[in-house]
Amino acid sequence: MPRKLVVANWKMHGNLASNKQLLEAYIQKITPINNIDVVVCVPYPYLAQAQSILQNTNIAWGAQNISKDAVGAYTGEVSAVMLKDFGARYVIIGHSERATAYCESDENIATKFAQAKAHGIIPILCVGETLIEREAGVMQMVVGKQLDTIINTYGAGVFANAVVSYEPIWAIGTGLAASSDQAQSMHEFIRGKVAVLDKSAAASLKILYGGSVNPQNAVQLFVMQDIDGGLIGKCSLNAQEFEGICRAAT
Ligand code: PGA
């Protein structure tokens, strides 16, 4: 069975002192678990701190966004090369909190995905539908369209060794996770969509589930065939809960 991947998304939480405590607790509780991959995506200013505390451990670190441009007059942006300077191995792209609050278009998200890949940073592409879209039964169409923007521009091969995180918007931060059947069925759809065009890319693609994952529901989700791990928001801010989720992935 492929190794599961568990990614902490700290969002806009933390400060130097609390991060130090949390990362040290991660090291104590999570580094002994060695048959999964664990990543923590921190706010930009704390990449250096994550690098200094986590280097020489089996926990990787990354960012929560990346510029779609390589270099230049783009005030406030952070490039792939800059992320690499701080040892970031992963970057979250197109999280719905950004897509809605900062008007990220599917085209921008696709360019960011390509930027990350071009610089050897593993993109974690977030896709997912709203509650209205699920209730209307169009969730596959919505997620399909999000993937198509990337596939039509860069080809399905770009998903080789990448990560897609299925994050139903109605499940994020609500305490109401998707059921394991709902998640599995979307994960199967995502893998199938890539597989039709590029079998080997689909096989190496990791598909995470994100949205109110906690230590109680994690096992049910992670045992599903196409669920390769999770993207964890709230519960990643508590080392004990995050450890519980990581253990569920084993
Ligand atoms: P949550 O967030 O675990 O707090 O629902 C998940 C996410 O937004 O990635």
∠ at Cα 20 (14, 21), nearest 5°?
90
Model pTM above 0.95? yes
Q: What local confidence, expressed as pLDDT, does residue 30 receive?
A: 97
Both tokens assigned to 235: 């519960």
Q: Which atom of ligand 1 is nearest to the CA of 175?
A: 5
Q: What local confidence, expressed as pLDDT, does residue 99 receive?
A: 81
Q: What local confidence, expressed as pLDDT, does residue 220 receive?
A: 98
**Is the CB of 184 within 6 Å of ligand 1?**
no
Distance 213 CA to ligand 1 centre (A): 7
13 assigned to active site: no
Backbone angles phi, psi at 102, to 5 degrees: -120, 20
Per-residue model confidence as pLDDT tens for the chain (250 residues): 689 999 999 999 999 999 999 999 999 999 999 899 999 999 999 999 999 999 999 999 999 999 999 999 999 999 999 999 999 999 999 999 998 878 899 999 999 999 999 999 999 999 999 999 999 999 999 999 999 999 999 999 999 999 999 999 999 999 999 999 999 999 999 999 999 999 999 999 999 999 999 999 999 999 999 999 999 999 999 999 999 999 999 9
Distance 73 CA to ligand 1 centre (A): 32
DSSP for 13-65 reads: ---HHHHHHHHHHHHHHHTT--SEEEEEE--GGGHHHHHHHHTTSSEEEEES-
Backbone angles phi, psi at 233, to 5 degrees: -90, -95
Q: What local confidence, expressed as pLDDT, does residue 2 receive?
A: 82
Total domains in the fold of the chain: 1
Q: What local confidence, expressed as pLDDT, does residue 239 receive?
A: 98
Both tokens assigned to 12: 């806009």
Query: What is the residue range of 101's domain?
Result: 5-248
The active-site residue out of 133, 167, 241, 243 is 167
77 assigned to active site: no
Q: What local confidence, expressed as pLDDT, does residue 84 receive?
A: 98
Domain CATH for 237: 3.20.20.70
